[in-house]
Structure 1
């Protein structure tokens, strides 16, 4: 159903040009500090991980240096795990869930895996609590060759050449998806806004080309010990996609240019936490992200013979 939602930038039905994109950028402002809230936590882990400055965003190269955590004494004989957060900078638990796992849980798995953890791929989006980058480009639709997103380009270059066994990409679905970001998307692209629903609870998005249902189930079961799982709606869907099992939907990751499709990993999942639920608080959301990672890793360890022989 089309909704006549007024958006204060642009003309309804007409895609934005440079003027509108600039107007949108001028409407944004800094709400929080990437350096104080994220970089300081990354640097506090230097005794556990090697810290790699893998790039800097041209919007402000000093303010928006990009960091990842890498296992010390990287061993190519071990399977490698990629954990990403903050592709959408406003999705807070993705950033802090990745950091909490690195601080509190990663040590239990360092003997079995190499880790590459990029907690905040979009620091400008983190500071402005935004889905897009300053060019009104969604980094999480931009993971492809010749990408218009610096955020995507830098992390794709960083992981190039690494044989990634599993990729856990940490996200949130929020009320502002429907109150701000999807209406802005419709305005930017000159299309009608079709109202959606925000599911109350955690769910995962698998790759429709490689859905690995048992792996997704293990993630859901681990998270269910921490927080509630999103139910299907009356159509058997979550955000317009068929629920294939409790709390799981699938997207064509590579076709959509999603972060979860940037490698050839055997096991991939994109988490979706709902931080606006009255049933949770910020720490529970962070814990849900940690539980998702733990569930993924424990599954791989439990199924090691099957994983490495196939």
Structure 2
């Protein structure tokens, strides 16, 4: 039986993309939802309770986007700083709406104890096209370093720079979806001229810790809270999640600085990346958003208790 994956429809197998292939890829991307009506409208509702600011602007052809951040109004130097980011990968919907739902429904529970900064949709072009990359076929979540190539990442780095050394917590809200395996990983292999090696998608929620500075008790506190909302992804028969060995139940570790991941933004002692699985038959859209909110609340609770 032939199990060789079908070649990606753009480019020549084994040859990295050039300008022509990137242009062909871009021509296939279509706007499928509205950043303005689904994200900016929610942020506007929050202006009465929070400070809202544009921290950057994107221009891709005729498309223009304002990058928006939400900040607690009574910012005080004696309070710990909490950073929440979502939509670094625009297609990961609960990352965006989980962040907004947290601000709308739960942030008031904490704003007298923390300084809160939220960037709910880091990649609006990709949000509208339900894609992982930006319009230049660059993954923003590999660009959080000085030589990063994504303007989305660079703008967020500029926003966070003043608090980089003071932050107590950074939680970055993501999803792992079936399209990671059917579209985004094959596209990545094709773009880079590498062979695509099929894998499996974990069924359930998991976290990504920093391999160089792990915080296992913190990660487990988040896992235990989220488990009240949705199921935790079990390890596969190799003891792995998404091709990475499990460090603890529901937790894997990546070298976040080496990879240029978003949680490399600060030197916060508590950092984690959530991974919700929206394609599970055991999870609804509401559960996915609620899982993100539960993760943020548990992370803040832990950080406040362990200052």
- State which of 221, 224, 227 in structure 2 corresponds to 1:221: 224
Q: Which runs of 5+ in 2 are unaligned?
A: none
CA distance in structure 1 between the partners assigned to 2:6 and 2:211 by the alignment: 32
Partner of 1:201: 204
Moved beyond 3 Å, runs of 4+? 60-63
Partner of 2:104: 103
Q: Does the 8 A contact of 1:45 with 1:103 survive in 2?
A: yes
How does 1:85-164 map onto structure 2 within 5 Å?
A: 85-162=86-163, 163-164=166-167
Kindly state the Cα deviation for residue 172 of structure 1 after the two structures are TM-superposed: 0.1
Kindly state the Cα deviation for residue 263 of structure 1 after the two structures are TM-superposed: 1.0
- TM-score when scaled to structure 1? 0.96
Kindly state the Cα deviation for residue 65 of structure 1 after the two structures are TM-superposed: 0.5
CA distance in structure 2 between the partners assigned to 1:258 and 1:87 by the alignment: 10
Change (3 A) 1:20 1:231: same
CA distance in structure 1 between the partners assigned to 2:296 and 2:160 by the alignment: 19
Q: Does the 8 A contact of 1:56 with 1:62 survive in 2?
A: no
CA distance in structure 2 between the partners assigned to 1:173 and 1:65 by the alignment: 26
CA distance in structure 2 between the partners assigned to 1:60 and 1:80 by the alignment: 36
Partner of 1:81: 82
- State which of 267, 271, 276 in structure 2 corresponds to 1:268: 271
- State which of 171, 175, 192 in structure 1 corresponds to 2:174: 171
Paired residue secondary structure (1:160)? helix
Q: Does the 8 A contact of 2:222 with 2:298 survive in 1?
A: yes
CA distance in structure 1 between the partners assigned to 2:150 and 2:34 by the alignment: 21
Q: Tell me whether 1:241 sits opposite 2:244 in the alignment.
A: yes
Kindly state the Cα deviation for residue 45 of structure 1 after the two structures are TM-superposed: 0.4
Superposed CA offset, 1:119-177 (max 9, x none): 00000000000000000000001111132100000000000021211000000000000
Partner of 1:301: 304
Paired residue secondary structure (1:286)? helix
CA distance in structure 1 between the partners assigned to 2:116 and 2:238 by the alignment: 39
Kindly state the Cα deviation for residue 74 of structure 1 after the two structures are TM-superposed: 1.0
Paired residue secondary structure (2:177)? coil
Kindly state the Cα deviation for residue 62 of structure 1 after the two structures are TM-superposed: 7.0
Kindly state the Cα deviation for residue 302 of structure 1 after the two structures are TM-superposed: 2.7
CA distance in structure 2 between the partners assigned to 1:188 and 1:117 by the alignment: 32
Change (3 A) 1:14 1:117: same
Paired residue secondary structure (2:267)? coil
Partner of 1:280: 283
CA distance in structure 1 between the partners assigned to 2:155 and 2:277 by the alignment: 28
Matched positions, count: 303
Kindly state the Cα deviation for residue 301 of structure 1 after the two structures are TM-superposed: 2.5
CA distance in structure 2 between the partners assigned to 1:78 and 1:100 by the alignment: 23
Partner of 1:34: 35
* Greater shift in the superposed pair: 287-296 or 238-247: 238-247
- TM-score when scaled to structure 2? 0.97
Partner of 1:18: 19
Partner of 1:5: 6
Q: Which runs of 5+ in 1 are unaligned?
A: none
- State which of 230, 233, 240 in structure 1 corresponds to 2:233: 230
CA distance in structure 1 between the partners assigned to 2:154 and 2:4 by the alignment: 35
Q: Does the 8 A contact of 2:229 with 2:287 survive in 1?
A: yes
CA RMSD of aligned residues (A): 1.2
Q: Does the 8 A contact of 2:205 with 2:274 survive in 1?
A: yes
